[in-house]
Amino acid sequence: MTSYASQSGFIDNLNPISIQSLEDACWNWCRKMGFTQVRLPVVEQRALFERGVGNGTDVVEKEMFTLQGSENVLRPEGTAQAMRAWIAAGGIRYGQARWAYCGPMFRNERPQAGRFKQFQQFGCEMIGLPAGPGDADILVGLSDFFTELGLREKLTLKVNTLGTSAERSAYRAALQDWLKPKLELLDETSRKRFYTNPLRIWDSKEPGTKLLMADAPRLLDFLGDASRTYWDLILSLLDDAGVNYEIDTTLMRGLDYYNGLVFEWVTFENKAQNAVAAGGRYDGLAELLGGVATPAFGFAFGLERVDALRETESSNKRSGYYVVSMPETEAYALKVSRAYRNRGETVVLGDFNGKLAKQVQRADKLNARFVIILGPSEKETKSVTVKDLDTGLQETVQFLD
């Protein structure tokens, strides 16, 4: 028989306990922050991302999976599709939405540690909320979330502002003027970006380009009064909440829809992929997609990347009950299992095959915390023998159904 292994970049997650507990933690965070779950399709029109994310971005230009013979793609991200759904639902009538999603995204990238062709993103989008304290509230909430997950020490919050589109245009022109006489000092990709998207020259990892850009004009110096007041407000709210951050004026984000505050939570634990969570404001996206102008702000993170930073202990922790029994006490075993489940416990029924000691070994392999041992004497006396696999202690108690 043919065996089908997964392809590189499309991973089998055969030990989902940790990812599942992370997802549970995400939904618990959403409950506290007032986000409700939306389920959006995995297949979308290519044009949505061309317009929304931007034709010149890596995600759209190089990484989308197109369905053969169609104009459809597997979604590479959730922000443009959340906005599409909001517009299609006539969202503006409702004023505001706080939406959250968790599901597969697809990008045809070269796989490496922490980078997959199919990955899972948890994302939140606040649509209809203008720039203001709500943005800082999400960053503070995320900081607390990462603390709760035991990751805050491993992460650095980087923030920058991209200003308004008019401020960005003025900056783009100034940057091009400054770079023009130095073009031959740029690496090849950056030279192309000089004409198409000069702000993305900041993303270059080439040492020569980085050295040159160290003296380039900064977008922060092109902000008008309103943008500067907003930027100062965000920073002062973060200071007030005791959330550490770094201002990184080179942080431009790779997707075109952003304006104003942008941020990334980065880690230095994994050298290959250091962005763990990212987001920002995207006040122009609704209009770009044909809707009424609607301010918006959001973020997303890859579940796999966050999970990789967590200690593995949660996936190895023992939990639940495993029932060990014999064919002649099957009915009693089912009755006991049912009663324990009705009390809210997790109960796995064993296969009743072989000696009791062998069955207990199977419980051990499955990481059960307790084994319920049921033989003829337990059945007769209406009792259960419970062994704690953590301590090795065993006791027989009355069975109360």
* Residues near ligand HAM, by CB under 6 A: 77-79, 107, 109, 115-116, 119, 121, 123, 125, 275-280, 282, 298-302, 304-305
Considering the complex, state which of residue 82 and residue 336 has its C-beta at the smaller distance from ligand HAM: 82
Instruction: State how far the Cα of 143 lies from the Cα of 187, in Å rounded to an integer.
Output: 36
Considering the complex, state which of residue 86 and residue 299 has its C-beta at the smaller distance from ligand HAM: 299
Considering the complex, state which of residue 79 and residue 337 has its C-beta at the smaller distance from ligand HAM: 79
Q: Quote the least distance from Cβ 293 to ligand HAM, whole Å.
A: 17
Considering the complex, state which of residue 79 and residue 161 has its C-beta at the smaller distance from ligand HAM: 79
Location of structure tokens 């759209």: 60
Nearest to 171 by CA among 185, 161, 183: 161
Instruction: State how far the Cα of 84 lies from the Cα of 74, in Å rounded to an integer.
Output: 15
Measured from each CB, the residue nearest to ligand HAM is 298
Q: Quote the least distance from Cβ 292 to ligand HAM, whole Å.
A: 19
Considering the complex, state which of residue 168 and residue 305 has its C-beta at the smaller distance from ligand HAM: 305
Q: Quote the least distance from Cβ 256 to ligand HAM, whole Å.
A: 11
Residue 3: CB atoms within 10 A of its CB come to 4
Consecutive H or E run containing 80: helix 79-88
Nearest to 161 by CA among 259, 235, 234: 259
Strands 259-267, 246-247: parallel, antiparallel or unpaired by DSSP? Answer: unpaired
Q: Quote the least distance from Cβ 394 to ligand HAM, whole Å.
A: 45
Angle among Cα 203, 279, 113 to the nearest 5 degrees reads 60
- For residues 221 and 252, is the Cβ–Cβ distance under 8 A? no
Considering the complex, state which of residue 255 and residue 374 has its C-beta at the smaller distance from ligand HAM: 255
- For residues 372 and 346, is the Cβ–Cβ distance under 8 A? no
Considering the complex, state which of residue 151 and residue 326 has its C-beta at the smaller distance from ligand HAM: 151
Q: Quote the least distance from Cβ 44 to ligand HAM, whole Å.
A: 13
Nearest to 87 by CA among 56, 29, 128, 58: 128
Q: Quote the least distance from Cβ 76 to ligand HAM, whole Å.
A: 7
Q: Quote the least distance from Cβ 169 to ligand HAM, whole Å.
A: 22
Location of structure tokens 């999976």: 65
Q: Quote the least distance from Cβ 297 to ligand HAM, whole Å.
A: 7
What are the strands of the beta sheet with 118-127, ordered from one edge? 36-37, 97-106, 118-127, 296-302, 275-281, 259-267, 155-161, 246-247
Consecutive H or E run containing 278: strand 275-281
Q: Quote the least distance from Cβ 275 to ligand HAM, whole Å.
A: 4
Instruction: State how far the Cα of 57 lies from the Cα of 257, in Å rounded to an integer.
Output: 10
Instruction: State how far the Cα of 279 lies from the Cα of 264, in Å rounded to an integer.
Output: 7
Considering the complex, state which of residue 50 and residue 345 has its C-beta at the smaller distance from ligand HAM: 50
Considering the complex, state which of residue 263 and residue 321 has its C-beta at the smaller distance from ligand HAM: 263
Instruction: State how far the Cα of 265 lies from the Cα of 258, in Å rounded to an integer.
Output: 16
